[in-house]
Chain A
Amino acid sequence: MRRNSLFHRFSFWGAIAFIGLALSAIKLTWNVGGAKWGGIWAGGRIGSGFLPLISGGMLILCSLLWIVKMVNEDRKDDVSSKEGDNKGLPARYNVIRYLVILPAVLLIMAKSVEYLGMNFVICVFLFIWFRFVDHFPLKSSVFYTVIIMGVLYLVFTVWLRVPFPKFFDLF
């Protein structure tokens, strides 16, 4: 498959991120056990740092090979390939909207569960989603919210008695 520069940048930084993760693991291996190699092998026993070192090392090696492979592919590729011609390449607008804003909203929502209760937050989320994301009419939004919320409430709260955080100790 022919690669374009945006895809390559994405993959390149991905590979760099993996190397970062692996280096962190190896650094931790040194810290575990308090002494350099003590965390890996001590007194005929394998230490806590053994697997992090092995997996971290493997990750570094594979990520480096990945980068090398990408650089080689870059050379072979047609230089004139334009950014955005790769099939399935997400538009920048969508990336910001659905890969940054949507997860951020979901994270805020998850955090607010602690204060507002699970059922209340889910209820509000469903209504907002139907009304403002899907652009349903008001009546349909309320209808779908009530039906879905009702089923979820019956299954999780009434039947399974999951101890969800509650909205002012009410529901």
Chain B
Amino acid sequence: MSTIHLLAQGLATALTPHNLLFCIGGATMGIIVGALPGLGCVSGASLLLPLTFKMDPTTAIITLASLYYGTMFGGAISAILINMPGDAPAVMTAQDGYPMAKKGYAGRALFTAFFSSMVGGLTGAVLLTCLGGPMSLIGLKFGPPEIAMLILVAMTSIGWILGESPLKGLVATSLGLLFCCIGVDKMSGLPRLTYGIRNFLAGFPFIPACIGMFGMSQVFRTMMEGIHRTINVDTKSISYREALPPAKDFPRIIKTDFLGAPLGFFIGMLPGAGATAATFIAYITEKRIQRKNPEMGKGAYEGIAICESANNAASVGAFVPLLSLGIPGSGTTAIIMGGLMMWGLQPGPLFMSENPQFSWALIASFFTGDLICVLICLTCIPLFARLLKLPNTILIPIIICLSIMGTYCVNNSLFDVMFMIMMGVAGYIFNYMGIPQAPISLALILGPILEMSFRQSMTISNGDITIFIKRPISLTLLIVGVVFVLLPVIAGFLQRIVKPGKA
């Protein structure tokens, strides 16, 4: 049977009123859970999984999958409105989303995020439908050396998000790399930089740190500047009409979406990378492309669009290894895989051919679910944007309570809450000293993947560093990385030769 026929059958299953209702329920829950700080898609899926035990497996997987991409939509809401990322992939959305909201264009920022999420999700679903099988085989060719080089290429681009002072940006990057060493080393089992604190054994608490650095630090800033008795921002874009970006800006958004979606989808497929790494890599790629755009990092459409399209496409991409090979591509798909086994299904290479109705109903639900999510979110834009109309006197205690309760939810730990508060103070000081926080979070996400894959590569090759040039994919990525590093130097040199007088 052709792919189109299978997809049509899947759509017929996904569009039954019963499945559609559960898809709407899952998406709504996902959006709410995603918007709450600390509760990411993994927590959401874990919370929902026990409830699906008695459901029909097809309905259950549709509900879980809709919750998964619902969280991807929801994460952007709190990131844009209160600079508090709902989940890890939304950290980069806050870089441009919050400044845009502060300028009074919260509606436009939200619209861009939701629209890009939809484009990312739909593109991911199309790629999964057409190229899922072959792409999973390409993904399998990505061993530790290739992943190490891919991350290295991403890290060479870190310079583009260093901000006005590259030196402080480098301090931030090194600090992020240092922080990511905290915890038990996964290869040797030795504790590193824990200083006897038991809670650090599990590693640097990333989500509490982000809630502290981005959300709590805002509280301290507002209080310090004495603006806690004022309206947060003058939100102009509160109606549907005003939430729409100007027509001239649409091509910018769409162009960025169609870069972010395939990139995110591909990185999402790689085991261990996930939507967070996909978003970070996509953002720095866009930052490199938009290096001459002064708005980037200060409220550019491109900054929001790239993150949202990449993280939604990555969430779909994570299903490719799960459906075609039985390997989960992310934490959430690992939970979903647990669900599959709970419902009596065995994921593996024959999964799709043995359960066509089930797998194609799931793929079809990506299309329906994305449209449902975007409809829910777009309908609620004025409601979300109205949040900014709340005076700071009410908003600040709400942010504090949400930060505390949300942080507790991550690991059910009060240590995380205290850590988050301290990171809030650190975040304020970083802001004051002009140290950019984006490189810290970037290094925290990419650092462990780089270290692990680099060390695995060296173990595989028995310490032979030439492993990176012996493998064609890693060699290509290495050349790309070297070109990225040398390009500004060569460009500067050529400029001096061409215009010696102006040098």
How far does the alpha carbon of A164 sit from the alpha carbon of B223 in the complex, in Å?
A: 28
Interface residue SS majority, chain A: helix
A146 within 8 A of B: no
The reply to whether A45 and B422 contact each other, CB–CB distance below 8 Å, is: no
* A-B pairs with lowest CB-CB distance, top 9: A44-B463, A55-B177, A58-B174, A59-B174, A48-B185, A98-B223, A55-B178, A110-B417, A134-B393
Q: Are B190 and A33 interface neighbours, CB within 8 A?
A: yes
Contacts of B421 in A (CB 8 A): 103, 106-107, 110
A142 CB within 8 Å of chain B: no
**A-B residue pairs in contact (CB < 8 Å), sample of 13:** A24-B193, A28-B192, A33-B188, A45-B463, A46-B454, A50-B455, A51-B447, A59-B175, A62-B170, A110-B421, A118-B404, A155-B36, A164-B405
Q: A48-B187, A134-B229, A160-B47 are in contact. Are A99 and B425 (CB under 8 A)?
A: yes
Q: Is the CB of A122 within 8 A of B178?
A: no
B475 within 8 A of A: no
Closest to A49 in B: B192
**Chain A residues whose CB sits within 8 angstroms of the CB of B224 once the complex forms:** 90, 94-95, 98-99
CB 8 Å contact bits of B377-416 with A (1 = contact, 0 = none): 0000000000000000110111011101100110010100
Measured as residues with beta carbon below 8 angstroms from the partner, the interface class of chain A is 35 or more
Residue pair B409, A125 in contact (C-beta under 8 Å): no
Name B455's contact: one of A14, A18, A45 (CB within 8 Å). Answer: A45
Q: How far is the CA of A12 from the CA of B355 in the complex (A)?
A: 63
* Cβ A46 vs Cβ B418 within 8 A: no
Are A54 and B401 touching (Cβ within 8 A)? no
Residues from chain A with a CB closer than 8 A to the CB of B402 are 152
Q: Are B398 and A148 interface neighbours, CB within 8 A?
A: yes
Contact flag A32-B192 (CB < 8 Å), given A66-B167, A122-B405 = yes
- B295: interface (CB < 8 Å): no
- Which residues A56-98 have CB closer than 8 A to chain B? 56, 58-59, 62-63, 65-66, 69, 88, 90, 94-95, 97-98
Q: Is the CB of A113 within 8 A of B414?
A: yes
Chain B positions 163 through 176: 1 when the CB is less than 8 Å from some CB of chain A, otherwise 0 = 00001101101110
As a 0/1 sequence over residues 427 to 460 of chain B, the CB contacts with chain A under 8 angstroms (1 = contact) are: 0110011010000000000010001001100110
**Set of chain B residues within 8 Å of A111, measured between Cβ atoms:** 414, 418
Query: In the complex, A89 Cα to B168 Cα: how many Å?
Result: 19
Closest CB in chain A relative to B74 CB, distance in Å: 13
Instruction: Determine the residue in chain A with the shortest Cβ distance to B189.
Output: A48
| Residues in chain B near residue A46, CB distance under 8 A | 454-455, 458-459
B286 CB to nearest A CB, Å: 25
B39 at the interface (CB under 8 A from A): yes
Q: B220 near A: Cβ within 8 Å?
A: yes
Whether the pair B188, A11 counts as a contact (CB closer than 8 A) is no
Residues of chain B within 8 A (CB-CB) of A33 are: 188, 190
Q: Do residues A66 and B192 form an inter-chain contact, with CB atoms below 8 A?
A: no
Known A98-B224, A99-B425: A59·B178 in contact at CB below 8 Å: yes
Which residues of the other chain, B, contact A45 by a CB distance below 8 angstroms?
Answer: 455, 458-459, 463
Which residues from A are CB-within-8-Å of B170?
Answer: 58, 62
B6 within 8 A of A: no
The answer to the question of B226 belonging to the interface, with a C-beta cut-off of 8 Å to chain A, is yes
Q: Is there contact, CB below 8 Å, between A152 and B454? A: no
**For the complex, is B181 an interface residue (Cβ under 8 Å from A)?**
yes
User: Residue B104 at the A interface, CB < 8 A?
Assistant: no
Q: A110-B414, A110-B421, A111-B414 are in contact. Are A25 and B178 (CB under 8 A)?
A: yes
Q: Find the residue from A98, A113, A136 having the highest chain B CB count within 10 A.
A: A98
* A128, chain B: closest CB distance, angstroms: 9
User: Given that A99-B425, A102-B220 are contacting pairs, would A51 and B412 also be in contact in the complex, using a CB cutoff of 8 Å?
Assistant: no
A22 touches B422 (CB 8 A): no
Q: In the complex, which residue of chain B has the Cβ closest to the Cβ of A59?
A: B174
Q: A52-B178, A103-B422 are in contact. List 4 more A-B contacts (CB 8 A).
A: A32-B190, A45-B458, A55-B175, A130-B393
Tell yes or no: A156 within 8 A of B by CB: yes
A59-B175, A99-B224 given; A52·B167 CB < 8 A:
no
A152/B401 contact (C-beta < 8 A), A18-B175, A98-B220 known: yes
Contacts of B16 in A (CB 8 A): none
With A66-B171, A113-B417 given, is the CB distance from A125 to B400 under 8 Å? yes
Q: Once the chains are docked, how many angstroms separate the CA of A44 from the CA of B23?
A: 52
Q: How far is the CA of A136 from the CA of B391 in the complex (A)?
A: 13
**How far, in whole Å, are A95 and B425 apart by their CA atoms in the complex?**
11
Residues of B within 8 A of A24 (CB): 193
| CB–CB A44/B458 < 8 A | yes
Q: Is B75 on the interface with A (CB-CB < 8 A)?
A: no
